[in-house]
Structure 1
Amino acid sequence: MINTEDFTKRLQQVIDYYGESASSFAEKIGVQRSSISHILSGRNKPSLEFVLKILSAFPEVELYWLLNGKGEFPSTKKAAAQNLSSITSVPSPSPKIEKEIESKINHDKTIERIVIFYSDGSFKNFQN
Structure 2
Amino acid sequence: MVNIEDFIKRLEIILDYYGLNASAFADKIGVQRSSLSHLLSGRNKPSLDFILKILDVFPDVDLYWILNGKGVFPKSPGETYNPENKIAEVVNSTIPSPTQSDLIPEDLFTAANPATKPEEEITKTKENPNRPIYPNSGEVEKIVFFYKNGTFKVFNPN
Report the TM-score when normalising by structure 2. Answer: 0.49
2: CA distance, partners of 1:75 / 1:45: 24
The residue that corresponds to 1:23 in the other structure is 23
Give unpaired runs (5+ residues) of structure 2.
81-158
* Structure having the higher Rg: 2
> C-alpha displacement at 1:28, in angstroms?
0.7
- In structure 1, stretches of 5+ residues that fail to align are 83-128
- Residues 1-128 of structure 1 mapped to structure 2, 5 A cutoff: 1-76=1-76, 79-81=77-79
Q: Which has the higher contact order (CA 8 A, sep 6+)?
A: 1
> Identity over the aligned pairs, expressed in percent?
66
Divergent runs of 4+, >3 A: none
C-alpha distance in structure 2 between counterparts of 1:58 and 1:81, whole Å: 12
Tell me how far apart the structure 2 counterparts of residues 81 and 16 of structure 1 sit (CA, whole Å): 21
* Counterpart Cα distance in 2 of 1:45 and 1:29: 17
User: How far does the alpha carbon of each residue in 1:36-76 deviate from its partner, in whole angstroms, 9 at most, with x for none?
Assistant: 11111000000000000000000000000000101000001
Q: How far did 1:81 drift? A: 4.8
Give, as a single letter, the amino acid of the residue that structure 1 aligns with 2:78.
A
In structure 2, distance between residues paired with 1:21 and 1:66: 18
What's the C-alpha RMSD, in Å, of the aligned pairs? 1.1
The separation in 2 between residues aligned to 1:80 and 1:17, in whole angstroms, is: 18
Could you say what secondary structure the match of 1:66 adopts?
A: helix
Aligned residues: 80
The 1:33–1:70 alpha-carbon spacing in structure 2 relative to 1, beyond 3 Å, is: same
